[in-house]
Structure 1
Amino acid sequence: MLPIDVLIIGAGPAGISSALHLVNADASWASRLLVIDKAIFPREKLCGGGVMRFGEQALWRLRLPFAPCQIPIREAKFIYDQHVMTLRAQPLFRVVHRADFDDWLLRQAERQGVIARQSEALLDLQYTENGIHVMTSQAQFLAKLVIAADGSNSAVRRLLKLQRPTHPPVARLLEVVTPAKQDLLAFRDGVAIFDFSCMAQGIQGYCWDFPAIRNGEAWMNRGVYDSRVHAQLPLSSLPNALEHHVTKQGEIWDEAAMNGFPIRWLDEESAVSVPRIMLVGDAAGVDPLFGEGISYALAYGEAAAISVVSAFEQGDFSCVSYREQIMQHPILRQLRGRRNMAKLLYNFCGHPTRLRLLWKAAPLLFRCLAWYRPEYLPFPARQIKIEH
């Protein structure tokens, strides 16, 4: 059994951010931690790929430039039925291809001495007197602390039996990616679409259209997001909503190209830590309003690293202060407001008349938020131009 101070399970943005923040705090952490992941990088990851302003802030806090392969979005259209609100900024946000972004981030960590073992899956973990006995497909470890960065379907959460039996805080998503031409408006002008028309059918979210670059080629990433913040409401058909959205854009619908994935969002009741184990990123929970995951995953790494350093300095591995660390973090503390906004907005689902009235007032509401609560918005609120 190999002793290790910190074992990070998952080499996505949350796990690698945790490692980088530790190494940035003290270079000796590179020899005291290990990252494992069941995949081999670069690996495909279902994701819209939007990195909002908080993501750029999180990268800056990691002392990293933005990923080299990206599409800056300069215009976003927010649609409900025939109502359109257009936001413009330079840029509003950026779109990345997750396989490329995650691989780039992993390479940055390896350049700083972080060791990441790929194709190594978690099998089991058990408490011992001196730490956590972790069994993987390749080895066994005795870790003083474990950082679980293994996604919305977290194996660590499952093994610890931390799932809520009813109404788990998990959003539903479907995505379809199709080849495109780079002379499309989406690529030429950097245009993204957020279409909330599906709320009339009871979907607690929106459909999206993002331009994307994969292996140097143009693609359109389209999908539908259903937050399920009101879990007691009936489920609506995501495939039907996505088919309607895709065909409305003049594209041929191909059901075989559709893929689904969950996103866990942070709520007050779900555990984010137990003694010697902290959950980060999607394993802990991200944004229910827009389903934004990358930005918050990067921020979780900083909160976890601060908690790790404190645990070793004080000899206290209970991790009881980790949630407080999340709520005090300048980026992660916005999740509570995002959750409240999601519950308010998506309470209008299934009420077309109320939705039309809401959308007529949207520019005024957006301006009020941009001025009084800019942290609730994923865009650089005070720099944007609004057209209606």
Structure 2
Amino acid sequence: MGWKRLVLALAASCAMTAAVAQDKVKIGVLTDLSGVLSASTGPTDVEAARMAIEDFGGSVLGQPIELISADHQNKPDLASVIARSWFDTEGVTAIADVPNSAAALAVQGIIKDRKKIALFSGPATARLFNEDCAATSFHWVFDTRAIAHGLGNAILAQGGKDWFLVAADYAFGAQMAKDLDAIVKARGGRISGIVRHPTNVSDYSSFLLQAQASGAKIVAFANAGFDTINAIKQANEFGIVAAGQKIAALVVVISDIHSLGLAQTQGLVSVTAFYHDRDEASRAWSKRFFDRTGRMPGQFQAGVYSAVQHYLRAVRDAKTTEANAVAEAMRARPVDDFFAPGAKIRKDGRLMNDMYLFEVKKPADSKGPWDLWNIVARLPAEEIIAPLSESTCPLVKAP
């Protein structure tokens, strides 16, 4: 073989290798594996992604699908470092989950720069599909505006017009306070006061004393994970409910209620994007999840599964892992699963999934350790998610 033919053969081989590498799907679940959100997200979200890959068949475009995970420790700078390393040196094609809004916003900056896929199911900040939106970024499960409208309207309709807000001091808490204030004022109510706390705080006494002193009828917690669990537990110890004030947890998940128990949470009203006992499809998947993990899934686990499955179907449709082509395919097809059957993705990347208003059961009404709440009402996506006419996402106004 002459040297020219050898060079051509090597070039063809390199091109083939590059094509194979380019079309290899590798999903990174970036989550909280050890901190305040680890019980409600973390390892169980990784398991949900693993189930999605297995149920898809384990391979796509002729190659096995890889799954890796990492702990962002709720630090935006660490989340950025991991995301950049995954994309630049480890061949990751999509990042999933990313609970903690500040960490998610940091990752979003890398997504824009590297032009890769983000499947956000853990963060709540609506900035991800508004002013900080990206063409290859998708927002599953919930957001602060949807929570504020879904839960806020329900409580306001029952006469709860005077609120005091205890909020986590990061992006989620700030946006939640803003969105809740808007809906409360629009309905003739008021926020009597707001106090902010750092994450993973153990003593809520000073915050709860301010809530008691405010005289507000509703004491709302805009936090998540262990912060929500500790806040509700100490509010009961302070006798807030016994004294006539009501507690509203803006983000509370099934594992939080299970941890706290019905005696401390009975009557609590909140919203969720998923409940394991909602219908036959959710029950079937949730039983499989329980058999693997020993616990029922919540909205985060269901959301990770749904987002990963939808991404894999889009890769198959697009016949490539190139992010723009996959993003276009993700928007082109409706979601086909138990989490949000038939839901579509908007131009800004927001999945239009319904949510549900629920009330925690009394201990006497529960039939088992995971029979924890009743679905009170379905909240249609179009009624709680901000319409595109209010969007500040540059993609919405683009031709």
TM-score (norm 2): 0.33
Which structure has the highest strand share of the two? 1
Which structure has the highest helix share of the two? 2
TM-score (norm 1): 0.33
Larger Cα-atom Rg: 2
